[in-house]
């Protein structure tokens, strides 16, 4: 064997074809873990293909270097890639044992094997290993070789390099390890998977036995360091008797907000080297708030399951918490258990918000109808007929049958409509807003129709109409447009859909009036952020997750661009924009403060301080011909946070009789916000709303004559016979 390595020395100094070019090591880009930090600077997770943190040559701790050299290659600074004495000793021991028991490889040989060769134990592999080691020594300095070794060595638990190993076993940097801890990690070099729980071979031995083996290896390293006089006798004894305690696996790569981290991964996986680039990702998430949100949702779901064990497996939920000023995401809980389901209910689930969507209809009503004092604006509260389509009859939108309130109140103002979440009143209000919008748009639509006069007449002529008949059809179309008929449904609903989009609702909203009471699907994140303009003076803000991303040397890789606030309700008249926002803030406060408000129960635990909230219960399916609850919501704003909570079943089926947003979602918010509320904290007043002289006796705006029995237009195109 010794003669074989002598031959290898001469071959290494010649040109040998077929071997890797060691010069390319200079271009080697080692995979490095990327770490994710919360808003408080704490580690909340990481991304990695190989878990590694690079140590530069001048960053290798001296005590770690001495432990490696004493254990693996005491002549490292004296040999030229292979150590003849070590080879001879290993060969003799192999001969005595009559099997391969000792390798005698230098650090450089180990590096060559790990980088270029297979791990099989054959003389041929050792021969090529020696050649590569000698060539590496010719090309690189000892410090460069040591740095490569320190960063490339596998040390168990999926961690490569001594820095990653220090963090996974002891939760600290390698420079902060004690002598005993450094020796412990070095002792794992020859059996790196000794403490890796998911290794199949380790299941045959108890952890206690394997840990005792690791401690023996640590003591062996200390003994070798003492022999080489790298440590004193006192240092040896203290390290020998030091109590070694290692952390549970994966502690170094916490996953404290898995749904949030997965959103970051999906957003940047094609743009940045998340798994290999050693990035430092600084986020907006607050770990303490995240934990509170997770606990509150878990408790809320457990209470629901106790009432409905038949739905235990299907019950799902989500919580989103945003900073009220910046819309930075402070918490994102996309479900109860990411490891059971990676589906993120906070951003992926499209669900009907029910009454939680009503504030957008109220804001539009304030914009297009109620432009003066809110106290003077009243509308009908009675069953509202909706056409189900030609020949399918009518469906009546009704109010929820509260046990302690009248089903219908005749006429109501906006405060009662929103606080008591009256569906029928909201539909009457929405119809008035739609008609006001149509009236504003009629001149534009008539002008557009006039510009297409020749085109429309030609269309009817192609259908076989006479010139007089085609002209007559065009005139009838024009008259219908002047009454708001034959419009594109998308255009007819822009009074609501555009306002909601400006606020932050990006999901497709259906062009039907029932969207005003939440019949279109949205996700939790977007509707929560879209509520913020109601309390900040009327300005839209975009939710954000990232504050900055840097490389391993803290050079900026991605700096977030924060868009300036954009007026939501009226971009041309900022005073009007603020008026609408201030009214909306007061309306949403009434949901909590009015005794009949659907979220008034919050005042039991929080008698002071401002809340602006809206509950929601969607009825997106029927049983025995009756609509049943499928989605429970609450969106609640405080002077610091915007919080959205959703609870429902994965199959969008019945949650159960009288399971509402107030019953399921509100208690989750109630528990979450505990300890985060500052007593007497108020929203800022950004617009003074003048009161009427006698609001209690204010004369209501005359309701539209058709409010109680409005005409239902069939806007489908009809095929007519030629005239």
Q: What is the pLDDT of residues 159-183, one digit of tens each?
A: 999 999 999 999 999 999 999 999 9
Q: Which two three-digit tokens encode residue 432?
A: 């008035």
Per-residue pLDDT at 336 exceeds 80: yes
Percent helix, percent strand, percent coil in the chain, to nearest 5: 45, 15, 40
Q: At what angle do helices 423-451 and 358-368 cross, to 10 degrees?
A: 60
Lowest mean pLDDT among 639-648, 662-671, 698-707: 698-707
Compute the average pLDDT of residues 116-138: 85
pLDDT for 715: 30
Of 416-420, 482-486, 552-556, 626-630, the least confident? 482-486
521's tokens: 């699907």
Of residues 643 and 98, more confidently modeled: 643
User: Which pLDDT score is estimated for 677?
Assistant: 87
Query: Cβ neighbours of residue 150 under 8 Å, at least 6 residues apart?
Result: 55, 60, 64, 68, 161, 162, 163
Residue 240 and residue 218: Cα distance in Å, rounded? 8
Mean pLDDT of 144-171: 95
* Ordered DSSP codes for 492-533: HTHHHHHHHHHHT--SPPPSSGGGGGT-S-B-HHHHHHHHGG
**CB neighbour list of residue 90: distance below 8 Å, 6 or more residues apart:** 1, 102, 103, 104
Q: What is the mean pLDDT of residues 649-658?
A: 94
The average confidence (pLDDT) of the chain is: 89
Strand ranges (DSSP E) for 593-713?
Answer: 612-618, 621-623, 626-628, 631-637, 641-649
pLDDT band at 17 (very low <50, low <70, confident <90, very high): low
Lowest-confidence pick of 240-249, 554-563, 626-635: 554-563
Cα–Cα distance measured from residue 387 to residue 711, given in angstroms and rounded to the nearest whole number: 10
Mean pLDDT for the stretch of residues 65-86: 92
More reliable by pLDDT, 679 or 419: 419
Q: Is 41 left (phi over 0), alpha (psi -120 to 50) or beta?
A: left
The answer to whether residue 150 scores a pLDDT higher than 70 is: yes
- Mean pLDDT for 687-695 is 53
More confident residue, 28 or 505: 505
Beta bridge partners of 614: 635
The pLDDT of residue 112: 93
Instruction: For residue range 183-235, list pLDDT tens digits in order.
Output: 999 999 999 999 987 666 677 788 999 999 999 999 999 999 999 999 999 99
pLDDT value of residue 91: 53
* Beta-sheet pairing, 159-160 with 51-52: parallel
Ordered structural domains, the chain, with CATH: 1-22+73-152 (1.10.3810.10)
pLDDT of 696 = 35
Radius of gyration of the chain (CA): 36
Question: Is residue 124 helix, strand or coil?
Answer: helix
Q: How confident is the model at residue 307 (pLDDT cuts 50, 70, 90)?
A: very high
Once rounded to an integer, what is the mean pLDDT over residues 576-600? 97
| Helices (H), ranges, 140-206 | 142-152, 162-170, 179-186
């Amino acid at each position: 064997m010794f003669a074989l390595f002598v031959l290898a020395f001469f071959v290494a100094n010649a040109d040998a074809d077929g071997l890797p070019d060691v010069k390319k090591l200079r271009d080697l880009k080692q995979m490095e873990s990327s770490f994710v930090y919360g808003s408080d600077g704490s580690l909340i997770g990481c991304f990695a293909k190989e878990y590694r943190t690079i140590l530069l040559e001048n960053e290798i701790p001296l005590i770690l270097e001495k432990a490696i050299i004493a254990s693996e290659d005491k002549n490292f600074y004296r040999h030229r890639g292979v150590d003849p004495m070590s080879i001879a000793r290993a060969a003799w021991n192999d001969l005595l044992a009559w099997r391969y028991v000792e390798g005698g490889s230098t650090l450089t040989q180990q590096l060559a094997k790990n980088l270029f060769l297979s791990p099989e134990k054959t003389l041929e592999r050792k021969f090529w290993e020696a050649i590569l080691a000698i060539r590496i020594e010719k090309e690189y300095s000892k410090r460069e070789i040591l740095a490569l070794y320190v960063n490339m060595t596998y040390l168990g638990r999926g961690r490569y390099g001594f820095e990653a190993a220090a963090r996974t076993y002891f939760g600290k940097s390698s420079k902060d390890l004690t002598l005993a801890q450094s020796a412990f990690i070095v002792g794992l070099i020859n059996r790196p998977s000794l403490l890796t729980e998911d290794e199949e071979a380790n299941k045959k031995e108890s952890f206690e036995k394997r840990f005792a083996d690791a401690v023996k290896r640590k003591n062996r390293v200390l003994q070798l360091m003492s022999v080489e006089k790298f440590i004193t006798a006192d240092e040896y004894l203290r390290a020998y008797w030091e109590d070694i305690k290692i952390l549970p696996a994966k502690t170094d790569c916490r996953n404290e907000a898995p749904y949030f981290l997965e959103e970051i991964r999906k957003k940047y996986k094609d743009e940045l080297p998340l798994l290999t680039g050693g990035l430092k990702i600084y986020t907006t998430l607050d770990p303490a708030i995240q934990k509170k949100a997770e606990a509150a949702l878990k408790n809320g779901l457990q209470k629901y399951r106790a009432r409905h064990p038949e739905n235990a497996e299907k019950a799902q939920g989500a919580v989103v918490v945003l900073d009220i000023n910046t819309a930075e995401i402070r918490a994102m809980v996309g479900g109860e258990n990411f490891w059971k389901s990676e589906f993120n209910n906070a951003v992926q689930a499209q669900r009907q918000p029910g009454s939680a969507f009503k504030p957008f209809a109220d804001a539009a009503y304030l914009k297009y109808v109620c432009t003066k004092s809110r106290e003077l604006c009243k509308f009908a509260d009675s069953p509202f007929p909706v056409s189900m389509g030609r020949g399918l009859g009518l469906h009546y939108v009704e109010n929820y049958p509260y046990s302690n309130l009248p089903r219908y109140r005749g006429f109501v103002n906006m405060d009662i409509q929103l606080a008591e979440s009256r569906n029928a009143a909201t539909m009457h209000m929405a119809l008035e807003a739609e008609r006001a919008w149509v009236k504003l748009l009629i001149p534009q639509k008539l002008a557009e129709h006039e510009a297409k006069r020749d085109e429309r007449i030609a269309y009817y002529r192609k259908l076989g109409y006479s010139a007089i008949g085609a002209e007559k059809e065009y005139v009838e179309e024009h008259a219908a447009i002047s009454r708001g008929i034959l419009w594109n449904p998308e255009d007819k609903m822009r009074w609501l859909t555009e306002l909601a989009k400006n606020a932050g609702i990006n999901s497709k909203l259906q062009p039907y009036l029932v969207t005003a009471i939440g019949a279109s699907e949205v996700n939790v994140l977007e509707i929560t952020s879209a509520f913020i303009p109601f309390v900040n003076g009327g300005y839209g803000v975009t939710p954000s997750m990232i504050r900055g991303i840097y490389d391993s040397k803290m050079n900026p890789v991605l700096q977030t661009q924060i868009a300036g606030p954009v007026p939501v309700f009226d971009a041309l008249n900022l005073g009007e924009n603020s008026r609408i926002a201030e009214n909306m803030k007061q309306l949403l406060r009434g949901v909590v403060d009015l005794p009949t408000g659907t979220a008034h129960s919050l005042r039991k635990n929080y008698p002071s301080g401002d809340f602006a909230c809206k509950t929601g219960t969607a009825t997106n399916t029927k049983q025995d011909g009756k609509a049943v609850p499928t989605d429970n919501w609450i969106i609640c704003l405080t002077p610091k946070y915007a919080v959205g909570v959703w609870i429902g079943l994965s199959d969008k089926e019945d949650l159960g009789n009288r399971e509402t947003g107030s019953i399921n979602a509100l208690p989750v918010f109630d528990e979450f916000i505990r300890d985060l509320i500052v007593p007497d904290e108020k929203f800022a007043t950004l617009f003074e709303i003048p009161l009427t002289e006698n609001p209690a006796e204010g004369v209501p705006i005359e309701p539209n004559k058709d409010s109680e029995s409005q005409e239902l237009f069939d806007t489908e195109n009809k095929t007519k016979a030629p005239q």
